[in-house]
Structures are given as structure tokens and as C-alpha cells.
Amino acid sequence: MQISSSSFHNAVDQLSSLPGIGKKTALRLVLHLLNKNGKEIHDFGAAFTDLAEHINYCKNCFYISETETCSICSNENRSENIICVVETALDVIAIENTNQYKGKYHVLGGIISPMEGIGPSDIKVNELIERVKSQGTEELIMALSTTMEGDATNFYIYKKLKDLNIKVSTIARGIGIGDELEYTDELTLGRSILNRIPFENTLTL
């Protein structure tokens, strides 16, 4: 590549630093941007310098917010008594899109993973425990991934809260709605049999 422009290479490098975007794709994307006029390219960049300046996290639940407390935490129609614990802001968005949950959230910002050197102090676990204690939360819904790390995090939080008489639940794991039994993996199918629910409960949905 013989382009004598450091700003061009810099832009390509920055884009290819994003996950899933290789050098060649980044090159194509930057050339696409260059087809736009100067103001549009500038606006593209400004969106991110702006983000760097203004982005903040809710001091309560660590969800993304420009204000001190996020729109979910400051929404009085949502129950204070129930907190859904998730890994990232993406999970909050996914759960919000279901329109099935009317409590608050707590974004851990990661899960405990000894293999990657991520301990409880690296994520917002202690903040969660403090919050639960001071707020008098009644129920905690653990909505982490079903991986070894997710299970470890669930267990860590469960143990920390054991003496506090707080109900800790995890979201249901089972066969997806519309999925066929024969294509479901054994682990999920096995769990869905172990965690079977009374038929009457499904009628109320």
C-alpha cells in the first residue's frame, strides 16, 4: 500500500482495531467515507470524540447514561425491589426489547473469570452487594451467560447475599420458543426436563 497519507492509515488502523473488522474491510470502509464530503467525514469522527467526552455510566446501575442516573433508574414506574443482574449494556437492551421486565438493572461490566484474571473487584459486584444491602432489594434475577464463568459469578453473588434473606433467581434455560426437540442439544434439553414447570403456570402468560 503506497498511500502517502498518515491520516488515511491512521483511520484504517482505528477501524480495523474494532472486533470483526479486518484490514481489508477497514480499507474499504475508509474509502467509502472518502466518497462523502468533508463535513460528513468530520461528523463521523466528531461522533466519537463527542462520545469520549460525554459518555458516562449511571452511578446506580452502571448502565450507559449521559446524566448521573440513567433513564431506567430514574423511572418511578419501575420497581425498586427487583434487580436484574447482567454482564453488559447490550443485555439490558435485549431484555428491555422484550417488554417483560419492569424492575431495575445492574450492569456488572464483565463476569468473574480466573482464566482471564478477572476477579470480583474488577467488575461491579461489590457495588451490587452494597446497593442491595442499602436499598433493601427483595429479589435478584441473575441473567448472566450459562458458562463456567457465569455460573461462578452467580455463585459468588449468591454466597455473598446468603445471610440477607434475599431471593436470588436465574432466568429460565430451556428450549427456545419455536425450536424443535430433535435439534436441541442434550444439555439444554436435559435442563428443560429437570426445570419443568407446572402446566398451569404457562396458561397465565
Residues in contact with its own copies by the rule CB under 8 A: 1-8, 10-11, 13-14, 17-21, 25, 27-34, 38-39, 41-56, 63-67, 70-72, 88-90, 93, 96-97
**Residue for cell digits 428491555?**
96
CB of 107 to its own copies, least distance (A): 11
Residues 6+ apart with CB under 8 A from 26: 12, 13, 15, 16
Report the nearest approach of its own copies to the CB of residue 58 (Å). 9
In angstroms, rounded to a whole number, what is the distance separating the alpha carbons of residues 202 and 186?
23
Please give the full DSSP string across 3-42, using - where no structure is assigned. Answer: ---HHHHHHHHHHHTSTT--HHHHHHHHHHHHTS-HHHHH
Nearer to its own copies, 58 or 161 (CB): 58
Nearer of residues 28 and 191 to its own copies, judged by Cβ: 28
Nearer to its own copies, 102 or 162 (CB): 102
Shortest distance in whole angstroms from residue 17 CB to its own copies: 8
- Cβ closer to its own copies: 39 or 196? 39
Strand 64-65 and strand 56-57: the pairing is antiparallel
CB of 44 to its own copies, least distance (A): 5
Q: Looking at beta carbons only, is 12 or 140 nearer to its own copies?
A: 12
- Which of 197, 201, 200, 143 lies closest to 175, judged by CA? 197
Question: Which distant-in-sequence residues (6+ apart) come within 8 Å of 175 by Cβ?
Answer: 181, 184, 188, 189, 192
Give least dist CB 25 to its own copies, A: 7
- Distance, in Å, from the CA atom of 69 to the CA atom of 56, rounded to the nearest integer, reads 10
